[in-house]
Amino acid sequence: MNMLRYMTATSFSWLAGPIAVAMELLNYTDRGRPWRDDFLWAIDWAGTGVFLTVPVLAGLVAADTGLTLTQNRRDLTLSKPREAVALLAPALVGFAAAGIVHLIFVIPYALAARPTSENLSEATLMLVAHLAVLGSFAVLGSFLGAAVRLPWAPVVAAVASPVVMWWMGRSSGLFSPFDVGGSTSSLLGLTLNQDFVLIQLVTLAVVIACVLLAVSRRWPWARGASLKVLTPLVALAVVLLLLQRTPDLERLEVVSSAPARQCAGSEPSICFYPEHRRFVAEVRQNAQRIYEGVPREVAQLLPTSLEERYPGGGVPDAPEVSAYEVLPDSFSSDSIPISDTAGALVTPWTCPQIFGQAPPPEKYFQAAQLLTQELLAAAEGGSNFEDPVRVQEFTDLFNDVKSCRIFDE
Amino acid sequence: MTSVELRDVQRSVGRFTLGPISLTLPDSGVVGLVGANGAGKSTLMRLLATIDRPDSGTLAWNGAVVSSRTGRMSYRTRLGFVPQDVALPQRARCDDYLWHAAWLKRLPAGDRRAAVEKALAAVSLIDRATEKVQTLSGGMQRRLSLAQALLGDPGLLLLDEPTVGLDPQQRVSFRDLIREAGRSAPVLLATHLTEDVRLIAQTIVVLHEGSVLFQGPVAELEALATPDAPGDSELERGLSTLIADTGTDAETRGVRS
């Protein structure tokens, strides 16, 4: 009790806890909502909470460490047997506060997102990586507090943390030790690369150990250069540089075998992955409105089945089957618009041109937009399909698109 | 048996070099450490507090050299230190501050409450235990800083300018505390106030430009005084004489091993 009261009265690091609560709430009310069943994504998205918390955590720890090392306080601390623990206490307290809050948020949300035995180990690894990143930035705050001192240490730490995390966490093609996820779209069809996470954890453990060593023995040139401190720091820098040259190591990789879909209804049947079952009823309703709004000649052209696909996943090889991608905007909202369904129905999934390196020609986009608008108008009961000429025009254009002729010069 | 001994210790800080000096503290009693600003008093205190390590030479505690980490930790648990211009956490309660200091000092959890109460009682602050540090006067805050040094019955007390800034009444009361502490453990009192040394120290160490000019009984330094030397007391005149003679025969005359 005495220690807790002393800590809350004299230090800032513990504030990482309440501030982390605010950050996690902000994160989950933005896109969170993991009750949507997408378990792996829910854990991945929680990484954004780490990203939001890190600057505050590092800044608070830097402030406390700097305070401990102010001219008229440091001697009292440095003459005590628990000198090292006292110097590292801000980082430990800050990390514990932020880490516990993160777990308190993520674990119930993860449970609400229906974990399966297959992806539980992936999620656990993701969470460990989240904690390792929080720990890394707690010790970075400690390091900057000892090196920069007050009054600038907390400012430098708070500004440097997101920069470092962005630079070394989101870079494409390079190893990103601070990558904690935060994908805005579904992770269906992707799996966590365990090699990546293991290397990430080892790297962060080395970072944490080096910084703890440096800070607990005090900044080396404060006492005269110490090889015991400098050697691991140099080794760390070399390791990080080497890892930066590991371009093929991506955090997420495509699953080797596609997961199974679950189908509902007929004409058209709606086949979605279980993680996105929440969309099925609305997509089915949207499809029915379209199919019932168009004349029979047009309805016969439309696919008999809508099958969900994920980016990078396979596409249907039969024209009567349409793929359906849940777009990021729909994924993060509670509703899926009918325009997405209409767009999926007119997309020529069997045409390789829509997946090519070069963008499809403008006339394709114009045709797809026109067809989509006709279907939407029909669904709303205001179509031009009462005019046989209009039906013929729609049929011709639809056939041009579906047969890939629209891509011909 | 001697408690603390410095053997040929040298430490350079920038262009200033302390030593090499050899110094022995007795089992108990107050030893005054005097010298002008920049003489090396605080550098010596930091060496004795194991905050800094000597460039050469050794620190011995009860005959054993304090060199390994274990030895240093063991030495620190028996050390009470009041640095110069120490800043206390103003928003903490007095007892919480001492509790934290006891934890830093590795006092067993079961002994901490008793140790805190004993230290507060020793500096007459037991009735202010639950009050915040910021409610204490400057003199009381000095006593509280002494209380943290007294935690766990230290085997050595290092006090760096503890009476600076206190009013005359507070200084009298603080001297009593230091005198009392010196009955059970050696106290090294670094100060530029010779009055404090004259009234409470049995022996005196004079530092001048990084070297020990004198180490011996206070009376012996007083005996060096010449009638025309500047100073308000025999001790000050003795000190002035010693400093003035530096470079002549002072080292051979004054330094005691």
Report the pLDDT value the prediction gives residue A170, as an integer from 0 to 100: 62
Kindly state the helix (H) or strand (E) to which residue B4 belongs, with its residue range: strand B4-13
Q: What letter does residue B257 receive in the DSSP assignment?
A: -
Quote the radius of gyration of chain B (alpha carbons, Å).
18
Instruction: Tell whether A138 and A281 lie within a shared domain.
Output: no
- Do residues A281 and A161 share a domain? no
Measured distance CA(A142)–CA(A158) in Å, rounded: 12
CB count in 10 Å sphere of residue A212: 19
pLDDT above 50: residue A222 = no
Q: Are both A88 and A6 inside the same structural domain?
A: yes
* Closest to B51 (Cα-Cα) out of A390, A86, A22: A86
Q: Give the per-residue pLDDT at A246.
A: 64
pLDDT of B2 reads 52
Lowest mean pLDDT among A63-77, A220-234, B190-204: A220-234
At B39-74, the pLDDT tens digits run 899 999 999 999 988 999 999 998 889 988 888 889
Both tokens assigned to A222 = 């404060």
Among A254, A274, A305, the domain boundary falls at: A254
State pLDDT tens for residues A375-405. Answer: 999 888 877 777 788 889 999 999 999 899 9
Mean pLDDT for A187-193 is: 86
CA distance A235 to A221: 18
Average pLDDT value for residue range B151-163: 92
Cα–Cα nearest to A310, from A273, A335, A285:
A273
Does residue B56 belong to the interface with chain A, where contact is any CB pair within 8 Å? Answer: no
How sure is the predictor about A33, in pLDDT bands with cuts at 50, 70 and 90? low
pLDDT at A219 over 90: no
The confidence band for A221, taking pLDDT boundaries of 50, 70 and 90, is: very low
The pLDDT value recorded for residue A114 is 74
Q: Which of chain A's residues have a Cβ under 8 Å away from the Cβ of B46?
A: 75
Q: Which amino acid is at B60?
A: A
CB-side exposure of A368: number of CA atoms within 13 Å? Answer: 23
Distance (Å, whole) CA A71 – CA B125: 26
- Range A85-102 average pLDDT: 95
Query: Among A393, A376, A309, which Cα is nearest to A349's?
Result: A309
pTM score of the predicted model: 0.84
Q: Which of A235, A254, A273 is the last residue of a domain?
A: A254
For residue B118, what are the contacts with CB-CB under 8 A and spacing of at least 6? B150
Q: In this complex, do A6 and B53 lie within 8 Å of one another by their Cβ atoms?
A: no
**pLDDT score at A90:** 95
Specify which residues A252 forms β-bridges with: A192
Look at residues A209, A235, A254 and tell me which one is the last residue of a structural domain. Answer: A254
In chain B the first and final C-alpha atoms are separated, in Å, by: 15
For an interface test with A, give the residue of B10, B43, B51 to mutate (most A CBs within 10 A).
B51
Which residues, in sequence order, are CB contacts of A365 under 8 Å at separation 6+?
A: none
Q: What is the pLDDT of residue A223?
A: 47
User: H or E stretch including B207?
Assistant: strand B203-208
- The two tokens of residue A9 are 């009265």
For chain A, what is the domain count? 2
Whether A163 shows a pLDDT value over 90: the answer reads: no
pLDDT number for residue A257: 77
CB hemisphere CA count around A41 (13 angstroms): 22
The rounded distance, in Å, linking the Cα atoms of A392 and B43 is 98
> What confidence category does residue B134 fall into, taking pLDDT thresholds of 50, 70 and 90?
very high
Judged against a pLDDT cut of 60, whether residue A71 lies above it is answered with yes
Residue range of the domain that includes A328: 262-407
State residue B170's pLDDT score: 83
Please check the confidence at residue B251 and state whether its pLDDT lies above 50.
Answer: no
Q: Is the Cβ pair B93, A9 closer than 8 Å?
A: yes
Nearest neighbour of B83 by CB, restricted to A2, A9, A76: A76
pLDDT value at position B214? 92
Indicate if the pLDDT at residue A129 is higher than 70. yes
Of the given ranges (A206-215, B44-53, B141-150), which has the lowest mean pLDDT?
A206-215
Residue A232 is predicted with a pLDDT of 63
Assess contact for A181 and A43: CB atoms under 8 A.
Answer: yes
> Are residues A249 and A272 located together in one domain of the fold?
no
The verdict on a CB contact (< 8 Å) between B83 and A6 is no
Q: Could you tell me how many residues make up chain B?
A: 257
Q: Cα-flanking dihedrals φ and ψ of residue A294, to 5°?
A: -95, 155
For B253, the token pair is 């005359």
Mean pLDDT, residues A56-75 taken together: 92
Check whether residue A29 and residue A115 sit in a common domain. Answer: yes
What was the pLDDT predicted at A104?
Answer: 95
- Tell me: do A216 and A340 sit in the same domain: no
How many angstroms separate the CA atoms of B228 and A184, rounded? 88
Whether A250 and A329 map to the same domain: the answer is no
Does A349 lie in the same domain as A225? no
% of chain A with per-residue pLDDT over 70: 89
Question: Could you tell me whether strands A305-309 and A321-325 are parallel, antiparallel, or unpaired per DSSP bridges?
Answer: parallel
Q: Over 90: is that where the pLDDT of A59 sits?
A: yes
Question: Which residue(s) pair with A322 in the sheet?
Answer: A306
ipTM of the prediction: 0.88
Helix, strand, or coil (residue B215): strand
Return the structure tokens found at A272: 């979605």
State residue A243's pLDDT score: 65
Task: Assign A247 a pLDDT band (cuts: 50, 70, 90).
Answer: low
Tell which phi-psi region holds residue A114, choosing left (phi > 0), alpha (psi between -120 and 50) or beta. left
Which residues on neighbouring strands pair with residue A321, listed in sequence order?
A305
Find, among A119, A134, A118, A253, the residue nearest to A195 by Cα: A253
Q: What is the DSSP string of A262-308?
A: EEE-SSSEEEE-GGGGGGHHHHHHHHHHHHHHS-HHHHHHS-SEEEE
Helix H, strand E, coil C: the string for A87-102 is HHHHHHHHHHHHHHHH
For residue B73, give the chain A residue with the closest CA. A81
Co-location of A378 and A274 in the same domain: yes
Query: Are A348 and A200 in the same domain?
Result: no
Looking at the predicted structure, is the pLDDT value of residue A78 above 80?
Answer: yes
Q: Please judge whether B91 and A3 are an interchain contact, meaning their C-beta atoms are less than 8 angstroms apart.
A: no
Burial of A292 (0-12, 13-18, 19+ CB in 10 A): exposed
pLDDT at A226: 47
Q: What is the pLDDT of residue A233?
A: 66
Among A56-60, A166-170, A239-243, A306-310, the range of highest mean pLDDT = A56-60
Q: In Å, how far is A141's CA from the nearest CA of chain B?
A: 21
| Mean pLDDT to the nearest integer, B15-35 | 91
Is a pLDDT exceeding 50 seen at residue B257?
Answer: no
Residues of A in contact with B47 (CB under 8 A): none
Mean pLDDT throughout A273-285? 88
The pLDDT score that the predictor gives to residue A217 is 62
**Does A262 or A21 have the greater pLDDT score?**
A21
Residue A389 C-beta-side C-alpha neighbours within 13 Å: 0
Phi, psi of A53 (to 5 degrees): -80, -30
Of A10-14, B21-25, B250-254, the one with minimum mean pLDDT is: B250-254
- Cβ proximity of A183 and A51 under 8 Å: no
CA pair distance B95, A161, nearest whole angstrom:
37
CA angle A374, A378, A381 (to 5 degrees): 140
The band of A176, judged by pLDDT with boundaries at 50, 70 and 90, is confident
| The pLDDT of residue A35 is above 70 | no
Task: Report the largest interatomic distance among the alpha carbons of chain B, rounded to a whole angstrom.
Answer: 59
In chain A, what are the helix, strand and coil shares in percent, each to the nearest 5? 65, 5, 30
* pLDDT at site A241: 59
User: Where residue B93 falls among pLDDT bands split at 50, 70, 90?
Assistant: very high
Q: How far apart are CA A183 and CA A194, in angstroms?
A: 18
Q: What is the dihedral of CA B35, B39, B45, B46, to 10 degrees?
A: 160
**Bridge partners, residue A324, by sequence:** A308
Q: Over range A261-289, report the average pLDDT.
A: 88
- Using an 8 Å Cβ cutoff, are A178 and A132 in contact? no
A302 and A209 in a common domain: no
**pLDDT band at A34, cuts 50/70/90?**
low
SS3 B176: helix
What type of residue is A291? Answer: Y
How far apart (Å, rounded) are the C-alpha atoms in residues A95 and A102?
10
Give the residue-averaged pLDDT of A270-298. 89
Q: Do B79 and A223 touch (CB under 8 A)?
A: no
> Looking at this protein, which amino acid is placed at residue A8?
T
The CA-to-CA distance between both ends of chain A, in Å, stands at 79
Is the pLDDT reported for residue B256 higher than 50? Answer: no
pLDDT of residue A267: 79
Facing A9 at nearest CB: one of B46, B87, B91: B91
Backbone angles phi, psi at B6, to 5 degrees: -105, 130
> In A1-26, which positions are buried (b, 16+ CB within 10 angstroms) versus exposed (e)?
ebeeebbebbbbbbbbbebbbebbee
What residues pair up with A182 in beta bridges, in sequence order? none
Residues A185 and A162 in one domain: yes
Tell which B residues from 216 to 235 touch A, by Cβ distance under 8 Å: none
User: Is residue B236 over pLDDT 80?
Assistant: yes
> Both tokens of residue B167?
């009013």
- The answer to whether residue A170 neighbours chain B at the CB level (below 8 Å) is no
How far B168 CA lies from chain A's nearest CA (Å)? 24
* Amino acid B19: pLDDT: 78
Average pLDDT, chain A: 85
A218 pLDDT exceeds 90?
Answer: no
